[in-house]
Amino acid sequence: MNEKVGKAAKSQGGKDGSLDPVLWVIVVLLVVAGVYGNSYFAAESTLYRVIGLLVLAGVTGWLATLTAKGKAFVTLCLEAKTEIRKVVWPTRAETTQTTLIVVVVVMIVALILWALDSLLSWVITFIIG
């Protein structure tokens, strides 16, 4: 799979990844600018700051996806989405039954621990007097 991701990242646009370090520096600078700008404009409305941060996050994310690692991450997310569709999810009845089994087992273990605690407490009280 890594070979497929590497080939896909290199084949898009014919780039060899030589601009990746520059793009990552820009991404880091934009993140730092967002953090600093959020604290610098702390007196402004929260709505405006959130909108500004969302726009900045969108631009930063887009720039990050232009790198080889970013393209590989996007490919991973798309493949994960495909794999999620293949999962066989339990029915409501199966989920209810499993939940009830877990609750019953937890209650049994709690009773056993309570009994052991009571027994040890009684033994310690008997020894100490």
Spell out the per-residue pLDDT of the chain, length 129, in tens: 555 555 554 545 445 668 899 999 999 999 999 999 999 999 999 999 999 999 999 999 999 999 999 999 999 999 999 999 999 999 999 999 999 999 999 999 999 999 999 999 999 999 997
Considering just the CA atoms, what is the radius of gyration of the chain in Å? 28
Burial label, 64 (beta-carbon count in 10 A; 0-12, 13-18, 19+): buried
pLDDT at 13: 45
Spatial separation of the C-alpha atoms in residues 123 and 129, rounded to whole Å: 10
- Please tell me the predicted confidence (pLDDT) of residue 7: 54
pLDDT at 74: 94
